[in-house]
Structure 1
Amino acid sequence: MRIESGDIADDVTLRLLTRADAGALSAAYTENRAHLRPWEPRRPESFFTVDGQRERVEGLLRQFAAGSAVPLVFQAADGRIVGAITLTGISRGPFCSAHVGYWVAADQQNRGLAGAAVRRVCEIARDVVGLHRIEASTLLGNHASQRVLARCGFEPIGMAPKYLHIDGEWRDCRLFQRILHDRDPVL
């Protein structure tokens, strides 16, 4: 699967994750640890290390090679990673769907990066991966992410009680989907 890099802002590029990103990801997650904590699972200390990120990157790249994930990062002009967006759980056949998750660094908020990345990933999911739909979930109180999804054509499809284990607790989530096309799936 060939994924093209592209600008999502004047100074930020969306591109495929590489093995060389472990150090920059370690720095980004360490710098944004407090910012991301309310929205993510609790992470072991090893997650924030270069070795921990190297292991995580290797796993994501294996999933990409297997066709079950598309891991992308937001890279600033200065080389820092300032966010990420990943299609996971790619399913073929009659379901032809995936889940999307993303984050943006604290110092990059309110620049439209999340929306630009979500729109680009929807294009990749439809045109490159060939998916019919994408699903996303947000914590009930994550109104900023809900606005991003709505602006990108996602529709609410329900609420899932105790859906994700976030910041040490099972949390209720609002579920969204975007239908990308109505072509028949390749079976």
Structure 2
Amino acid sequence: MTIVSRLTAGHAEALLAFERENRAYFSASVPDRGDDYFTGFAARHRELLAEQEAGLHHFHVVEDADGTLLGRINLVGVRDGSAELGYRIGERAAGRGPATRAVRRLCVTAVREYGLPLLRAGTMLDNAGSRAVLARTGFQPVEEVMFGDRPGRRYVLDLRGSTLPAP
């Protein structure tokens, strides 16, 4: 079972441990967050919660049934009925379906709770796992782009008038 919960102050310690544990794993497919992310984590976590409270973003954690943190999934840059989807699943859970299940659940939440029927996403072309998650959850490719010096692809999912994906 995959549980998607809104980020709270109480997630800070587990989230920092998760990010530390998976730092090298994530750095293989996305740019590293840098040492400042870890040393300033508590202050940044409080800033993110304030931005979430203001409605600028919607941050979530992905957990299994026993409460183990598997990853995070977010809707950032909320504006004009849309947001950018982003997610990171830790190495121990990667390839076992939690990203797909979390994206499906967050699509439902985006429409029903946040009023966001249009989602955007992007990934590097060499990130086959992320591209597969986006394809399985109905995202459509819209353009090739560069993320820094790495080629990528942008996607969109328009949930208006469509059947919401099964969570």
TM-score (norm 1): 0.79
Q: CA deviation at 1:172?
A: 2.2
The whole-number CA distance in structure 2 between the counterparts of 1:73 and 1:132 is 21
Corresponding residue for 2:60?
72
TM-align CA RMSD:
1.8
The whole-number CA distance in structure 2 between the counterparts of 1:144 and 1:130 is 28
Post-superposition CA distance 1:30-76 (Å, at most 9, x none): 11111100233332323234xx3222221221121111111000124
Q: CA deviation at 1:126?
A: 1.1
Q: Aligned match of 1:21 in 8, 11, 36?
A: 11
Q: Secondary structure at the match of 1:68?
A: coil
1:30 aligns with 2:20: yes
Q: Aligned match of 1:63 in 43, 51, 67?
A: 51
Q: Secondary structure at the match of 1:26?
A: helix
How many residues matched?
A: 162
Q: CA deviation at 1:13?
A: 2.1
Amino acid at match of 1:135: R
Corresponding residue for 2:92?
107
Corresponding residue for 1:44?
34
The whole-number CA distance in structure 1 between the counterparts of 2:87 and 2:26 is 11
1:53 aligns with 2:41: yes
Amino acid at match of 2:96: R
Amino acid at match of 1:91: R
Post-superposition CA distance 1:119-164 (Å, at most 9, x none): 111111111111231000000111111111111011111111x3x3
Question: Which region of structure 1 is more displaced relative to structure 2, 99-108 or 171-180?
Answer: 171-180
Amino acid at match of 1:179: D
- Contact 1:23–1:53, Cα closer than 8 Å, also in 2: no
Q: Aligned match of 1:81 in 54, 59, 69?
A: 69
Q: Secondary structure at the match of 2:28?
A: helix
Question: Which region of structure 1 is more displaced relative to structure 2, 105-114 or 40-49?
Answer: 40-49
Identity, % of aligned positions: 36
The whole-number CA distance in structure 2 between the counterparts of 1:131 and 1:14 is 17
Q: Secondary structure at the match of 1:108?
A: coil
- Contact 1:28–1:80, Cα closer than 8 Å, also in 2: no
Q: Aligned match of 2:113 in 120, 124, 128?
A: 128
- Contact 1:17–1:57, Cα closer than 8 Å, also in 2: no
**Structure of greater Rg:** 1
The whole-number CA distance in structure 2 between the counterparts of 1:42 and 1:32 is 11
Structure 1 runs, 4 residues or longer, greater than 6 Å off: none
TM-score (norm 2): 0.88
Amino acid at match of 1:13: I
Question: Which region of structure 1 is more displaced relative to structure 2, 69-78 or 127-136?
Answer: 69-78
Show structure 1 runs of 5+ residues with no match.
Answer: 1-8, 183-187
